[in-house]
Structure 1
């Protein structure tokens, strides 16, 4: 994130005017009313003050280190010199504190949420006394599980044989035989420790494709430059900084496509029907947005922002699917990320559907759901309409039983019957579809990321859950 403040022709007189000048310079403008007063006062405003060069530099350096501070300052994350006067800052601060509510607004009355009978299989974690699963899914006839220790456990569903592979860091994505490791231990970092590996068919032997990735969380393996060799499109989520990169499948050289933190996931499409693979991307930090990247055929991309969100939105995941069988895809997103600087109940967290109306994406559906994290498209009741499944990692405790996983049963015209499976209380960090027994009935694979600072030695943590919806 880089500050790009506009030049002033006259000095604004109010905190509101100043806030619109400075606070909208790197992301959509946040109104004071969207978050409670204590969040502005205790976390957001102090961080904004630091970013604008008015904070205590010694305190920042003691927290992140001098070299890191200088590196981030050079990238525009922190301003070394003040971007505005102390008096101007006090006006901005007063404006936000005076005009923000004392408490957060509750979510509006939700639609009726039915209990839907489902077959549920629990995988207990016998290897370690935590449920810290970073990947869980099925590939062909193999069940894959990974954890924060970087162990990739493989179970052959035909022969029942098991083996494990030690990788440098936790696995966060597997596609075909390519395995992506986030680097480090899942915590935010500026260190570039992520790596991408290519395995053989049995997932026993592997070779390193590329390392020094900045907290990568997703990738696609697809030919982007017309040389008939698949390349790697990588979402390097990062921390203060991040990027979207392409690794050439032949030379293994890396090209930077976009430089923003929070790259989360991709959807591949040939949008303009020119035979070149384009992609949509979700950015979930700083200037939260969904962008379309058009490919010129040589892996050079032009970015167009199609949806822009404020920095408190909590964007977490998106997909494209045709929900009304009109031949055009809708954009569905989950926005429920509730960490970092504003951990509080948010009425605007949930599942949103956007319809493409004359090249403009318009929101046509919203279901409030605290902590909404991930999405799947699946025909749950086999009626020919695409249904949705959502999971919530940051779900509030009082909704954990009924909203940690939700079924959106499509009834047409963007109307849905809401249901949930009966599950134990977990924290589903990952969710994927699979068909382990090849019966053309998809199962839902949930990886549980449940941490306890002082784990109970007698408590059997759930590693993962397999749901077979029954309709």
Structure 2
């Protein structure tokens, strides 16, 4: 990072966490919660003279201009694989924290975080129905005819626990909130479902990202329908989880990507009774900014791999990070993974790896929530087409018509290929990066909540049948 970011942003925050500035905590509107977290010492943990030496080191050695991306991929505008069409339903400015393609119903579920709705649109982007949920939906998990809706409480960082997990059902053709399963939990971001203790009941695995206070827990479902919490990781920062039997013992294990100061991928190996052994897969430096991962067989060898993005740049005003991008960790067996692919992408926030063009290899669709709008706005969405292990990058011409926070892949129109849905959240941490005023005005006035990218692989067949 450059010198001004170190001296004006990072080091002052380090001083607070080293007990050198307790008055800063006292002035914070959530000071009571911050002190309770135990993350901020009231007494210094380092001598003031030693901290000044650290500050002087960065003043003397940090570059004036931040290091830029190396070997950045040139992004063209010749995207032929997909046709982009905005959703026709728009309540007001895009505030989509979650988007999910339902292939069975050929519908898209998406949130409206500002107005606290769960909205449903059809395969052509037309409104179907809306459910007022009274919170901010960020996760949507279907289990047979039930839907588990994860709601974060506060999209902006907070240690006030307002998160919820609610059960949504369809009755008489309409969605209703049928039951609140969990409430007052610290900013949950993701929920998974699995029988972790072999009792025949579906348990919940909830990533409570929090801020300074958070945890990763599994909630054991009892015969009476109640849930008992078991904490797996008593720290904030878990983004999401994936369930798979990683060590071949027949029990569902948990993979978890943890951000904040840990910036690590863990496996939690299950003994079949709900007891877990942690296994570190990788850990990066505290400024890595991990943002998402998915479990997929990238090299098609029958073993699940990790596709990981790091591009979170929203903590404070900060330059682009040269190490932001997409990384693929290939499964080596015996719970070992090796980094095999690294693609630079400023502000990378989500990457979905699929064989979109059906040519026998794995391509990547990616979004950036913190692109370099000054020099490379095309980073907002990029389709990386795999050509013999090299990736050719293209985007669509209206890629900056929204600020894409979330994305999902699936066959929305029933033609047999893989489409994409991008969710637009315009009001992000705008001070973190430079967002041109003309872009913000466009997002406010006409930016679509959802952009649907229809895969053209089978479109000609549909046209011939019509």
TM-score by length of 1: 0.85
State which of 280, 283, 289 in structure 2 corresponds to 1:305.
280
CA distance in 2, matches of 1:125, 1:185: 25
User: Which runs of structure 2 are paired with 1:129-148 in the superposition (5 Å)?
Assistant: 130-139=93-102, 140-141=104-105, 142-148=107-113
CA distance in 2, matches of 1:183, 1:235: 10
Using the alignment, how far apart are the partners of 1:310 and 1:254 within structure 2? Answer: 30
| CA-CA distance at 1:456 after TM superposition | 5.5
Paired with 1:66 and 1:339, the residues of 2 have a C-alpha distance of: 21
What is the match of residue 362 of structure 1? Answer: 338
The equivalent position to 2:191 in structure 1, one of 188, 213, 219, is 219
Query: 2:257, 2:265 within 8 Å by CA — same for their partners in 1?
Result: yes
Q: Which of 41, 50, 56 in structure 2 is aligned with 1:94?
A: 56
SS of the equivalent of 1:429 reads: strand
Name 2:23's counterpart in structure 1.
58
Report the Cα distance in structure 2 between the residues aligned to 1:327 and 1:434, rounded to whole angstroms.
Answer: 21
Please say if 1:127 is aligned against 2:91. yes
Deviation per residue, 1:21-75 (Å, 9 max, x gap): xxxxxxxxxxxxxx111111111111111111111x2232112354234313xx2
1:190 aligns with 2:159: yes
Matches within 5 A, 1:408-423: 408-412=384-388, 414-423=389-398
Work out whether 1:175 is the aligned partner of 2:148.
Answer: no
Deviation of the 1:209 alpha carbon: 1.2
Q: Which residue in 1 is equivalent to 2:65?
A: 103
Q: Which of 228, 232, 235 matches 2:204?
A: 232
Question: Which sits farther off after the overlay, 112-121 or 236-245?
Answer: 112-121
Quote the offset at 1:161 in angstroms: 7.6
Alpha-carbon separation, structure 2, partners of 1:365 and 1:161: 39
* Per-residue deviation, residues 382-407 of structure 1 (Å, max 9, x unmatched): 11222211111111104554221112
Contact 1:134 1:447 in 2 (8 A): yes
Is the CA contact 2:311–2:368 (under 8 Å) kept in the aligned structure 1?
yes
- Once the two structures are superposed, residues 220-244 of structure 1 have per-residue CA deviations (whole angstroms, 9 ceiling, x without a partner) of 1111111111111011110012111
Secondary structure of the structure 2 residue equivalent to 1:98 = helix
Q: How far is 1:262 from its partner?
A: 1.3
Q: Residues 361 and 41 from structure 1, CA distance in 2 versus in 1: closer, same or farther, beyond 3 angstroms? A: same
Cα distance, 1:308 vs structure 2 = 0.5
In structure 1, the residue corresponding to 2:95 is in which secondary structure?
strand
Q: Confirm or deny: 8 A CA contact 2:330 2:338 kept in the other structure.
A: yes
Matched, 1:46 2:15: no
Instruction: Determine helix, strand or coil for the equivalent of 1:132.
Output: coil
User: SS where residue 23 of structure 2 aligns?
Assistant: helix
Contact in 1 for aligned 2:378/2:399 (Cα 8 Å):
no
* 1:280 equivalenced with 2:255 (yes/no): yes
Gaps of 5+ in 2: 431-436, 458-466
Flag the 1:348–1:456 CA change in 2: closer, same or farther, 3 A: closer
Residues matched between the structures, number: 430
| Alpha-carbon offset, residue 193 of structure 1 | 0.9
Deviation at 1:373, TM superposition (A): 0.3
> Residues 95 and 299 from structure 1, CA distance in 2 versus in 1: closer, same or farther, beyond 3 angstroms?
same
Equivalent residue for 2:348, pick from 372, 393, 411: 372
- Of the candidates 316, 327, 345, which is equivalent to residue 320 of structure 2? 345
Task: From 449, 458, 463, give the equivalent of 1:463.
Answer: 449
* Aligned counterpart in structure 2 of residue 405 of structure 1, from 363, 366, 381: 381
In 2, the alpha carbon distance for the partners of 1:91 and 1:305 equals: 33
How far apart are the structure 1 equivalents of 2:261 and 2:255?
18
* Residues 246 and 399 of structure 1: CA distance in aligned 2, closer, same or farther (over 3 Å): farther
Deviation at 1:470, TM superposition (A): 2.7
User: Gaps spanning 5+ residues in structure 1: where?
Assistant: 1-34
Q: 1-side partners of 2:98 and 2:169: how far apart?
A: 19
TM-score by length of 2: 0.86
Note the alpha carbon deviations across 1:281-338, whole angstroms, 9 max, x for none: 1001111100011011122211111100101111111123333333334322111111
C-alpha distance 62-447 of structure 1, shift in aligned 2 (>3 A) = same
